[in-house]
Amino acid sequence: MADNPPPPRTRVVLGDAAARRRPADPARTDLAEQTPVGEALVKGLVRAQLALALRLSLVVVAGLGALPLLFAVAPAVGRLKVFGAQLPWLLLGVLSFPFLMLVGVAYVHWAERNEQDFTAVVRRPER
Amino acid sequence: MNPYLLPSLIVVILVTVAIGAYGLRFARTTSDFLVASRSVSPSWNAAAISGEYLSAASFLGVAGLILRYGAEVLWYPVGFAAGYLALLLFVAAPLRRSGAFTLPDFCEVRLRSTRLRRLATAFVLFIGCLYLLPQLQGAGLTFATVTGGSYAWGALLIGVVVTGNVAFGGMRAITFVQAFQYWLKLTALAVPIMFLIFQWQADGRPAVTPPAGAVFPVATSVVIERDAVLDGVGPVTAGETLHFAAGAPVPRVDTVDAKFGVDWLQPGSESGLFSTYSLILATFLGTMGLPHVLVRFYTNPDGASARRTTLVVLAMVGLFYLLPTLYGVLGRVYTPQLLMTGRTDAVVLLLPEAALGGGHLGRLLGALVTAGALAAFLSTSSGLLTSVAGVIFTDVLRPGRSGSVRDFRLATLLAAVVPIVLAMFVSDMDVSRVVGLAFAVAASSFCPLLVLGIWWRGLTAAGATAGILVGGGSAVVAVLVTVLGAELPSGLAEFIGQPAAWTVPLAFLVMVVVSLLTSRRVPADVGATMLRLHAPESLRG
């Protein structure tokens, strides 16, 4: 991140963002118009990122989303006490936040790795 | 009245204006005004996003809800924070890379449809107003509560301060203001709660839910606002003042909806499952559709930094949400009279003086939390106003390339007039409830549009339009029915009162089905758009 030079200052065009979409640089046009191969590369990246996002949201759904059902089906769990506090209060009021944070850190780590892989494949010199 | 109160409120307003004026020195172009020239660093940006997001509903409302309903509303803070995780996973980086500035812009970039763009504009304006109105009302009510002044003047004062600050400083100034206000809000809850917990320890840790029912910690007078029946006292009429000695049991008032004892301590049974899941769905998926949240992502320099910013926001917001729960719990011990009057939203404001007594410490901390509440109103309404004004500027005034700073100021004024006038005349809508409804509308209109637009090539303009109209439209109808207070049979009331559980899947379903039916109208350049949304910027040369 740090070794990239800051991008040049550009005027932001609001109303007609569509008009800005010109094939500005050859590298991007190349990739965009690269017929089956380029298309497949992009599809692969999108699929990898989507799979990652879905997998991690499944972790959240299993970890947090199942709790209301659990408390309703097994009220005994809701009555448990840990360190003098009721379990639901401890889980929702305190532990849920570091849990969300942890999932977020994992996502950023893997998503950046997916992008690095993609860049490496695209940048690979043709032989 | 608390002598520290007025000075602290004036200091907050002055510092806000001063930072706005300081930022103005850097604001030169329209781009500065709208996106701070995309040059804000992730940590500043994250503090600004958090400062903007933590509204009156978070600062006052969450603690009030927990005081009233206990374990089952713990989902509010969790959902408000988790919304940023959903945003991070599905939206943050691609949205920044799309290069669009507002939601209507995104529609145009992705689907090339002017009609869809107009529909999105209408929804942004609706959600913006729905969210701005309760902020101004909360500000007016707090002003009236703590200073004894009139409600309308409080709402008008905040409205004018916010409008002026946005109109003259725009996004560049607002970024600094919001970042300052995040730290102010965090301090304003974190410092008093430490003293409150020490006090609770020193008092011998009184039980939060004593088996014999709550008692008044000190002698208390309660003014009854509505005719009601009190158990143990009998019927009372409005305007009557009741006096209770220290240690007297707190009577329950039949007109105030609240939970007690085990019901408060433990999450709801199966009957509440539908509303719980509806709330979870609305808050988890609604955050990404809020106009003032999205607009902030365009101020990041690139997609990767948008992702990191979101992560820092998640941490900052999560840290903040640890605190309101504690206020709600301690309010159960020290301010039980709020459960009789029903003004539970005031618990954060009243708790320091109630627990620590009327000495200097209690009053000083009371002034600090009130200053934090003022910061909450100011920052959220500034952010909302900036984004609504941005949409009016680009889609209603349509200045094209010649758009000037003066046009942006005109747009700000136009965006502010309707909510301010409404807020002066409508004062009895519940802050947290209306904010929750805004989340439901956002979750059933913009969330499917963004998620499908970013991840699915097959989305068509017709599909997106149909999905927003059907899903978002039914959420809007449900909101209007709820806000206007129509009488509904009890089975239907739950579906209308918390609509997200059916409107969100409906919007996704309609969008997918109609897109499949019109699959010949998928934009021809969808491959290029996908590349632009997902490929790292370094590949753009």
Give me the amino acid identity at B230.
Answer: L
Give chain A's domain count: 1
Distance from the Cα of A82 to chain B's closest Cα (Å) equals 14
Contact at 8 Å (CB) between B386 and B174?
Answer: yes
Residue B38: per-residue pLDDT: 53
Instruction: For residue A82, give its domain range.
Output: 57-127
| Nearest-by-Cβ selection for B109 from A17, A86, A123 | A17
- Cβ-based contacts of B28 with chain A (< 8 Å): none
B242 domain-assigned? no
| Residue B436 DSSP SS3 | helix
Q: Which residue has the tokens 């959420």?
A: B475
Q: Given CB atoms, is A121 within the 8 Å cutoff of chain B?
A: no
- Cβ-based contacts of A11 with chain B (< 8 Å): 29, 31
Q: Given CB atoms, is A74 within the 8 Å cutoff of chain B?
A: no
- Cβ-based contacts of A7 with chain B (< 8 Å): 301-302, 537
Nearest Cα residue in chain A from B528 = A32
Contact at 8 Å (CB) between B493 and B271?
Answer: no
A67 domain-assigned? yes
Report the alpha-carbon distance of residue B48 to residue B53 in Å, rounded: 8
Name the region of B239 (left: φ>0; alpha: ψ -120 to 50; beta: rest): left
Closest by Cα among B165, B163, B139, B166 to B153: B139
A106 domain-assigned? yes
Distant-in-sequence, close-in-space partners of B482: CB < 8 Å, separation ≥ 6: B433, B437, B496, B497
Report the alpha-carbon distance of residue B366 to residue B199 in Å, rounded: 15
Q: Given CB atoms, is A39 within the 8 Å cutoff of chain B?
A: yes
Instruction: For residue B56, give its domain range.
Output: 5-23+33-214+250-540
Report the alpha-carbon distance of residue B124 to residue B391 in Å, rounded: 8
Contact at 8 Å (CB) between B344 and B64?
Answer: yes
Per-residue pLDDT of chain B (541 residues; tens, 9 = 90+): 677 878 888 888 788 777 777 766 655 555 555 555 455 677 888 888 898 888 877 888 888 888 888 888 888 899 999 999 999 999 888 888 887 777 888 888 888 888 898 899 999 988 888 888 878 877 877 777 777 777 788 888 888 888 887 777 655 566 777 888 899 999 999 999 999 999 888 888 787 777 777 778 777 777 777 777 777 667 777 777 778 877 777 777 777 777 777 778 777 665 678 888 888 889 899 888 888 787 777 777 788 888 988 999 999 999 999 999 999 999 988 888 888 877 777 888 888 888 887 788 888 888 889 888 888 888 888 888 888 888 888 777 765 555 677 777 888 888 888 888 877 776 566 666 778 888 899 999 999 999 999 999 888 989 999 999 999 999 988 888 877 766 777 677 777 778 888 999 999 999 999 999 988 888 888 888 888 888 887 776 4
Distance from the Cα of B242 to chain A's closest Cα (Å) equals 34
Contact at 8 Å (CB) between B40 and B181?
Answer: no
A14 domain-assigned? no
- Cβ-based contacts of B399 with chain A (< 8 Å): 15
Q: What CA–CA distances, in Å, run from B22 to B45, B169, B409?
A: 17, 9, 18
Q: What CA–CA distances, in Å, run from B28 to B24, B53, B299, B343, B528?
A: 8, 26, 16, 45, 34
- The β-bridge partners of B253 are B230
Residue B314: both structure tokens together: 């998640």
A68/B394 touch (CB, cutoff 8 Å), yes or no: no
Give me the amino acid identity at B126.
Answer: F
Which helix or strand (DSSP H or E) is residue B235 part of?
strand B234-236
B225 domain-assigned? no
Nearest Cα residue in chain A from B112 = A18
Could you say which residues of chain A have pLDDT below 70?
1-5, 10-36, 124-127
Phi and psi at residue B222, in whole multiples of 5°?
-125, 125
CATH number of the domain that B126 lies in? 1.20.1730.10
B245 domain-assigned? no
| Residue B259 DSSP SS3 | coil
Nearest Cα residue in chain A from B320 = A97
User: What is the pTM for the complete model shown?
Assistant: 0.85
A20/B99 touch (CB, cutoff 8 Å), yes or no: yes
Mutate which of B28, B72, B118, B266 to test chain A, going by most A C-beta atoms within 10 A? Answer: B266
Contact at 8 Å (CB) between B463 and B518?
Answer: yes
| Nearest-by-Cβ selection for B74 from A1, A31, A88 | A88
A47 domain-assigned? no
Tally C-beta pairs within 8 A across A and B: 183
| Nearest-by-Cβ selection for A115 from B108, B393, B536 | B536
DSSP B524: T
Taking chain B, what is the end-to-end CA distance rounded to the nearest angstrom?
Answer: 63
Give chain B's domain count: 1
B219 domain-assigned? no
Q: What is the 3-state secondary structure (H, E, C) of B66-109?
A: HHHHHHHHHHHHHHHHHHHHHHHHHCHHHHHHHCCCCHHHHHHH
Contact at 8 Å (CB) between B467 and B529?
Answer: no
ipTM: 0.86
Contact at 8 Å (CB) between B220 and B247?
Answer: no
Distance from the Cα of B234 to chain A's closest Cα (Å) equals 34
| Nearest-by-Cβ selection for A45 from B34, B403, B535 | B535
